[in-house]
Amino acid sequence: MSKTNLTRRGLIKTGAVAGAAGLTLPTYLRADGHSGFTNAPTGSTVTLGFNVPQSGPYADEGADELRAYELAVEHLNGGGDGGLMNTFSSKALQGNGILGKKVEYVTGDTQTKSDAARASARSMIEKDGAVMITGGSSSGVAVAVQALCQEAGVIFMAGLTHSNDTTGKDKKANGFRHFFNSYMSGAALAPILANNYGTERKAYHLTADYNWGYTTEEAVRNSTEAMGWETVAAVKTPLTQTDFSSYIAPVLQSGADVLVLNHYGGNMVNSLTNAVQFGLREKQVNGKNFEIVVPLYSRLMAKGAGANVKGIFGSTNWHWSLQDEGSKAFVQSFGTKYGFPPSQAAHTCYVQALLYADAVERAGSFNPCAVGEALSDFQFDGMGNGPTLYRGEDHQCFKDVLVVKGKENPTSEFDLLEIVEITPVSQVTYDASIFGGELGACNPGA
Amino acid sequence: MFGLDKKHTNLLLLVAALTMLAPFILNPFPEGSGMAQFNAGYPDLMQRFVIFGIFAIGFNILFGLTGYLSFGHAAFLGVGSYAAMWMMKLLTMNVIPAIAVSIVVAGLFSLLVGWISLRRSGIYFSILTLAFAQMSYALAYSVLTPITGGETGLQPKLQDPRILDGALEAGASPRANLFGLEMTSSFEWSVGSWLFTFNVGYYVAAVAMLLSFYMAIRIFNSPFGMMLRAIKSNQQRMNYTGLNSKPYTLAAFVVSGMYAGLAGGLMVAMDTQVGAERMFWTASGEVVLMTILGGAGTLIGPVLGAGMIKYMENIMSKINETILHQWFAFLPDGIENLLVAMVYPFIGKGWHLTLGLIFMLVVIFLPGGLVEGGQRIARLFKRKKPSSDTPDGKTTPAE
């Protein structure tokens, strides 16, 4: 079977033949009138699509992401105090929108479901003419929407997605991720764990039974085993599980002295609470104190788990208590507008919006290929994570990773985590080819 | 025409006209106007209208005719989707084999599920189908991750074999097509400030919907359909007359599973991605809602219900606070904020609430669904005619 690649233009030609036969001729083609890419903005405005979970298990993160985007739009259009635009190392952004066009936005609800997220993103692209889609709070959604954007020919700036797959085996030329991933969590955590708990530990993993859980378990396992730890068992728990008692009980019999909870969100809150209730943390096994580790931490999770997080190690992308200029500026403008400090989800989304706008300014065009080129191997600073590289091979950001610990004496409901160490970027960098997958070529659509 | 009586021919022609002219009908407001956000004539939503229409038509063949309430129909949709996706990964990006295989696989799976579940009726049947659907969901979400891609789902990849297709050009990505005609290609026609989009994928799905609709009419009017209605009205009496009703219910179950498979295959053909949450029980519940909202047991009802729910989901959910403030901007600030605060819970992420209210109203006041509403309005106009014949509006009894 021969596959002729029929484009819109080709279809118009067919239409012209039909027109000769007396049919009405289509007179106008959206893609044709512009400069050859999907949804090229023509008027005085440009539309961005903010696709975040507004309902479902990650609605809290989604709400915070939306706040961050609204703040970013305000700053891009020259309102507010400018936020991170003042500390950002690239000075291309003028506060007059993007390329002089006022930034407008549309919002959608991903419901944390790939189908709903894609439907929402498609309506933004097809109906509202969005030239970039960003947001999301789970890896399944990020991978699904990223693939859609690749097909449709728009840029996707991932929100909170921690799985290796997003920029690993499912990476796409039109997709970019600022957030860190499971591999980096493992690599950053392992040395700290070895320092604090010694190198002769027996670990027991409880892993959420889906892709993110698998990649996180693998990452933590590989990096701790390299330090000399032994993995006793790794048990998968259903994502919908709310009571983990039956999974915690066997931990005590296994002879393990560390419990790793590869859980996120409500899962982690429940499993950690169960583990603490079972008195695991007061136990002595193999002559050592029993310890619990949570690879991916967020402030919202720490809030849910309450006092149970005290002294428990984990990693995070960013925390509002960082004292560099960028972080301070962001916390300042977010706090002024909303009255409380931003979460890491808000931070990564805000930064992604600014990075996109900056790349368009530098490229001088909204064309996804030009933007992609401007972002690839782009080095920047002043965004709260120290010097950062957007690696061209897999469109993943490389920056320092924070290792945090539940605070023993929190002073407020937001002050739940303390930073133990800032793991330098060199320690978490990996070869782009280890996860497989192909970036492919950029697709400008049309 | 087509072996149908006049009434059903007209209905079929009406549905054909509606689907073919949908790009005009669904885009009544000019681009850039304040009302433009209520336009539904963009490819993704139009495709969803007809695909979920097919799904609901199929569900109605089971629920509307036999009265068996399946609470696990989304499983067949999901199985059909996975089958279609694997065809696209292994064989070709042409949608024909994908859709054909999705129907067959969903049919086989529904045969298995139906054979077991139909041993019971009523609530026990519903629970059995629900259990099967949740099992399928759990399998797809985690246990069968190598086949289903788990949480991330499946998409066509550059390195897939696709043995019937030639090698991709450099830089090209695999796209679903019908003998070279890409599903995503569309041409746009602007008339004045209106913009109409004619999408290839939509018309492929619309033709499939018309065929399914025609099939459903034939089934409704056949002796087989009559037998199914008899099962609904009194299955016990059927059994006492010595008739074995199980083959009929099983056939209806499989046919309706194949409709769901077709819908699943089309979903993949329109948007090349499949994820496990397509099989989640809420998705099964949604098709029940669609059918009841539109009118169970009627031909056009499920299609209307599907359209209504998808419209709410995609259009209402996108109205955010900023848009509301624009609407009420002409009012004084205090009143504006008050109105926004009152309306806001019902739009945007609160669209479920509005849908729930509408559903309640329909079930309480129009038990026959939207179709009954339409019939009542039609009757209002019809009653006037005879009444105009007699001066006092009453018929005089014959002595």
Nearest-Cα residue of chain B relative to residue A438: B158
Chain A residues whose CB is inside 8 A of the B277 CB are 113-115
Chain A residues whose CB is inside 8 A of the B171 CB are 440-441, 443
Q: What is the pLDDT of residues B205-220, one digit of tens each?
A: 999 999 999 999 999 9
Q: Which alpha helices (H) appear in B43-158, and where do they start and end? A: 43-60, 74-90, 95-117, 123-138, 145-148
Q: Which of B112-121, B291-300, B329-338 has the lowest mean pLDDT?
A: B329-338
- Provide DSSP, B161-200: --TTSPPPPTT-----EETTEETT-EEEEEETTEEEEEEH
- Among the partner-chain residues B153, B175, B190, the one whose CB lies closest to the CB of A144 is B153
Nearest-Cα residue of chain A relative to residue B167: A3
Nearest-Cα residue of chain A relative to residue B278: A115
Instruction: Give, in degrees to the nearest 5, the angle at Cα B216 between B214 and B219.
Output: 115
Q: Does the distance separating the beta carbons of A54 and B349 come in below 8 Å?
A: yes
- Residue among B7, B8, B366, B395 nearest B215 (CA): B8
How far, in Å, CA of B191 to CA of B314, rounded? 25
Chain B residues whose CB is inside 8 A of the A16 CB are none
The residue type found at A121 is A
Chain B residues whose CB is inside 8 A of the A108 CB are 317-318
Q: Which of A35-39, A177-181, A386-390, B199-203 has the lowest mean pLDDT?
A: A35-39
Residue-range domains of chain A with CATH: 45-180+320-400 (3.40.50.2300), 183-316 (3.40.50.2300)
Beta-carbon-side half-sphere exposure of residue A102 (alpha carbons within 13 Å): 5
Q: What is the pLDDT of residues A42-77, one digit of tens each?
A: 889 999 999 999 887 788 889 999 999 999 999 999
% of chain B beyond a pLDDT of 70: 95
CA torsion sign for A148, A150, A155, A156 is positive
Task: Give the helix/strand (H/E) hosting A390.
Answer: strand A388-390
Residue B391 reports pLDDT greater than 80: no
The confidence band for A261, taking pLDDT boundaries of 50, 70 and 90, is: very high
Residue identified by tokens 């233009």 is: A9
% of chain A beyond a pLDDT of 90: 63
Q: Does the distance separating the beta carbons of B352 and A55 come in below 8 Å?
A: yes
Please tell me the predicted confidence (pLDDT) of residue B351: 83
Q: Does the distance separating the beta carbons of B92 and A123 come in below 8 Å?
A: no
Residue B396 reports pLDDT greater than 60: no
Q: Does the distance separating the beta carbons of B273 and A147 come in below 8 Å?
A: yes
Chain A residues whose CB is inside 8 A of the B44 CB are 119, 122-123, 126-127
Nearest-Cα residue of chain B relative to residue A166: B152
Q: What is the pLDDT of residues A415-432, one digit of tens each?
A: 889 999 999 999 999 999
Q: Does the distance separating the beta carbons of A211 and B151 come in below 8 Å?
A: yes
**E-strand stretches of A122-242:** 132-135, 155-158, 175-177, 202-208, 230-237
| Best residue of B29, B87, B157, B187 to probe chain A, by most A CBs closer than 10 Å | B187
Chain B residues whose CB is inside 8 A of the A440 CB are 158, 171, 173
Mean pLDDT of the residues in chain A: 88
How far, in Å, CA of A160 to CA of A140, rounded? 11
Chain B residues whose CB is inside 8 A of the A144 CB are 152-153, 155, 273, 275
Q: Which of A1-10, A335-344, B131-140, B198-207 has the lowest mean pLDDT?
A: A1-10
Please tell me the predicted confidence (pLDDT) of residue A24: 36
Residue A315 reports pLDDT greater than 80: yes
The confidence band for B30, taking pLDDT boundaries of 50, 70 and 90, is: confident
Cα of A103 to nearest chain B Cα, Å: 14
Chain B residues whose CB is inside 8 A of the A61 CB are none
Q: Does the distance separating the beta carbons of A140 and B42 come in below 8 Å?
A: no
Q: What is the pLDDT of residues A266-293, one digit of tens each?
A: 889 999 999 999 888 888 888 889 999 9
Cα of A276 to nearest chain B Cα, Å: 27
Domain extents for chain B? 6-279
Q: What number is the ipTM of this complex?
A: 0.84
Q: Does the distance separating the beta carbons of A144 and B155 come in below 8 Å?
A: yes
Please tell me the predicted confidence (pLDDT) of residue B160: 86
Q: What is the pLDDT of residues A10-28, one digit of tens each?
A: 555 444 444 443 333 333 3
| Best residue of A151, A162, A212 to probe chain B, by most B CBs closer than 10 Å | A151
Better pLDDT: A111 or A105 = A105
Kindly report the backbone phi and psi dihedral angles of residue B31, in degrees, each rounded to the nearest multiple of 5, phi listed first.
-60, 140
- Provide DSSP, B362-390: HHHH-TTHHHHHHHHHHHHHHHHHHHHHS
Q: Does the distance separating the beta carbons of A140 and B153 come in below 8 Å?
A: yes
Q: Does the distance separating the beta carbons of A4 and B273 come in below 8 Å?
A: no
Nearest-Cα residue of chain B relative to residue A436: B159
The confidence band for B327, taking pLDDT boundaries of 50, 70 and 90, is: confident
Residue B393 reports pLDDT greater than 50: no
Mean pLDDT of the residues in chain B: 89
The confidence band for B398, taking pLDDT boundaries of 50, 70 and 90, is: low
Please tell me the predicted confidence (pLDDT) of residue A23: 37
The confidence band for B397, taking pLDDT boundaries of 50, 70 and 90, is: low
Residue A245 reports pLDDT greater than 60: yes
**Encoding tokens for residue A440?**
């492919």
Q: Does the distance separating the beta carbons of A140 and B169 come in below 8 Å?
A: no
Q: Does the distance separating the beta carbons of A238 and B138 come in below 8 Å?
A: yes
Nearest-Cα residue of chain B relative to residue A150: B173
For the segment B223-242, the average pLDDT, to the nearest whole number, is 93
Contact residues for A125 (Cβ-Cβ < 8 A; gap 6+): A38, A39, A49, A133, A149, A152, A154
- Among the partner-chain residues A5, A116, A138, the one whose CB lies closest to the CB of B172 is A5
Please tell me the predicted confidence (pLDDT) of residue A413: 83
Residue B170 reports pLDDT greater than 50: yes
Nearest-Cα residue of chain B relative to residue A236: B142
Helix (H, G, I), strand (E, B) or coil at B342: helix
Cα of A95 to nearest chain B Cα, Å: 21
Provide the 8-state DSSP code for A85: G
Q: Does the distance separating the beta carbons of A4 and B171 come in below 8 Å?
A: no
- Is B261 within 8 Å of B76 (Cβ atoms)? yes
Q: Does the distance separating the beta carbons of B271 and A118 come in below 8 Å?
A: yes
Please tell me the predicted confidence (pLDDT) of residue A427: 92
- Among the partner-chain residues B188, B272, B278, the one whose CB lies closest to the CB of A115 is B278
Better pLDDT: A137 or A16 = A137
Q: Does the distance separating the beta carbons of B158 and A440 come in below 8 Å?
A: yes
Chain B residues whose CB is inside 8 A of the A107 CB are 318, 320
Please tell me the predicted confidence (pLDDT) of residue B385: 55
CATH of domain B6-279: 1.10.3470
- Is B299 within 8 Å of B216 (Cβ atoms)? yes
The confidence band for A306, taking pLDDT boundaries of 50, 70 and 90, is: confident
